Structure 1
Amino acid sequence: MSARQPRPAKRSLKRFWRSRDGASAVEFALIAPVLITMYCGMAELTQAMMAQRRLSNIASAVGDLVAQGSQTGPLKMADVFKVGDTIMAPFPVTGALKMCVASVTSDANGKDTVAWSKPSASGMTNCPAAGSVVTDVPVAVLPANQSVILSRVSYTYTPAIKFVLSGGLTFNRTYYLRPRKTDAVLWNLAS
């Protein structure tokens, strides 16, 4: 009798290795982490693309609002920056969204100088200071003896899931718009 006991154990071991009953579960367990990672990555990528498109809309709208007037000032600029915050909703803007509007004028020699500049947040590094010379404005955009409104916007996108993209992405947009009513939009402290 003792010689027959190993045979059933040997047969059940062979049946276990040949059985395909749990193959689907094992395959799913191997593929599921890859699929979940891809799904989370696509969700994060989609949200980042939406934030980037809203940022382009903000740069265009903020610059356009300033270019429509003949003068602007601190009160009008505060309202313009609120419009930018509203466009970015539902994405968080506190500390992430930075806007800058400046008037750049070109002299007869083609030297581009910042007439005035207003950042939405202090410490914005890519906002040119008033009186500074800028060299990155294309000549086709700002010919000699002309003026243009420079609108620069920066947004640091932080993903909600943080599964695939652990850090934030910083998007930057720059728009140049010509003043519509006058040759140059003037800065007025009372406005």
Structure 2
Amino acid sequence: MTCRTLTRFGRDRRGIAIVEFALILPLLITLSAVTFDLVRYVIYMRKIELAASTLADLVARNDTGKITQTDILAISRSQLVMFPEAMQAARDANVSVWSLLKWSLSGIQFTPTVASCTANCTYAPKVTWTSGQKRSCSTPPVAAPNTAGPSPTTLPSDTFGPGFLVVADVVFSYKPLILQSVVGTIDIAKSFYFAPRYVTTITFDSSGGITSANACP
């Protein structure tokens, strides 16, 4: 190859576009994969939020002041209406949907820390009944900043006050379709809190003898 040929080759720009495309193609593929899984994550997060909200709202609509295990199980199935993708994810993984979609419903009663208090009181929460994955009966939830993530051992500080609270906790084990080998499984957790709409408190009726939900001592 002569010097003239080398010079002409160095000035030839006809293949630059192909070379540049080959260089950026892996980056484009990576960005597309990240975008796909990120959008899917956001959609799932919103649906899990809706599922938790629906659980708490349905219990809060109780107008008898009592809830049974049958009621709770029926209400828990509403998650699959709000978030049907959980069933497909379970089929793909060949597991029970409830191993991916974990939930709990609980009743929390607040009482003044000083029994004689009538104004500007502080309140202590107590779990009066719980079901599903269950909040602890023996350990009262503690106050957490309102911006803190959901936890079965805490409640947002703004929820502390007189009265009764229905709490729904939902956690979904999200597996990215493309980036699972990179980020693994991500737990998406959402909790919602509602006061009863028609009664002052909601107690658990254990007369059915089923123990997957229980009244706390």
| Residues 40 and 164, structure 1, Cα contact 8 Å, conserved in 2 | no
Of structures 1 and 2, the larger Rg is shown by 1
Higher strand share: 2
Aligned to 1:135: 142
Question: In 2, Cα distance between the equivalents of 1:68 and 1:175?
Answer: 14
Matched with 1:97 is: 101
> Which residue number corresponds to residue 146 of structure 2?
none
Alignment CA distance shift 1:164-1:20 (3 Å): farther
SS for the counterpart of 1:56 is helix
The CA distance in 2 between the partners of 1:138 and 1:66, in whole Å, is 19
What is the rounded CA distance, in whole Å, between the counterparts of 1:63 and 1:190 in structure 2?
Answer: 23
Unaligned runs of 5+ in 2: 91-96, 114-122, 144-154, 209-217
Residue aligning to 2:74: 79
Q: Measure, in 1, the Cα distance between the counterparts of 2:29 and 2:180.
A: 10
Deviation at 1:61?
Answer: 0.5
Q: Is the 8 A contact 2:34 2:179 kept in 1?
A: no
Q: Output the CA distance in 2 between the equivalents of 1:60 and 1:118.
A: 16
Alpha-carbon distance in structure 1 between the residues aligned to 2:38 and 2:181 = 9
Give the alignment of 1:34-73 within 5 angstroms.
34-69=27-62, 70-73=65-68
What is the CA–CA distance in structure 2 between the aligned matches of 1:134 and 1:158, rounded to whole Å?
Answer: 30
Task: For 2:16 and 2:67, locate their aligned partners in 1 and report how far apart those are by CA, in whole Å.
Answer: 70
Which has the larger displacement, 50-59 or 103-112?
103-112
Correspondences of 1:136-155 after superposition (within 5 Å)? 136=143, 137-138=155-156, 140-144=158-162, 146-155=163-172
1:162 pairs with 2:162: no
Give the superposition deviation at 1:139: 5.5
Tell me how far 1:68 sits from its aligned partner: 0.6
Identity level (%): 21
After superposition, the Cα gap between the structure-2 partners of 1:99 and 1:22, relative to the gap in structure 1 and judged at 3 Å, is same
Q: Please state whether the residue corresponding to 1:172 is helix, strand or coil.
A: strand
CA offset digits 1:72-104 (Å, max 9, x no partner)? 221111111111122112243522211111000
Structure 1 gap ranges (5+): 1-5
User: Where does residue 111 of structure 1 map in the other structure?
Assistant: 124
1:33 is aligned, of 26, 32, 43, to 26
The Cα of 1:33 is off from its aligned counterpart by 0.9
Q: Aligned to 2:47, what secondary structure does the other structure show?
A: helix
* CA gap 1:98/1:36 in 2 versus in 1, 3 angstroms: same
Single out whichever of 135-144 and 80-89 deviates more from structure 2: 135-144
Q: Please name the residue that 1:174 is paired with.
A: 191
| Pair 1:183–1:18, CA change in 2 (3 A) | same
Aligned residues: 177
SS in 1 for 2:19: helix
Deviates more, 1:161-170 or 1:79-88: 161-170
Q: 1:18-63 CA distances to partner (integer Å, 9 max, x unpaired)? A: 2112111000001111111111111111000011111111111000
The 1:62/1:84 distance shift into structure 2, 3 A limit, reads same
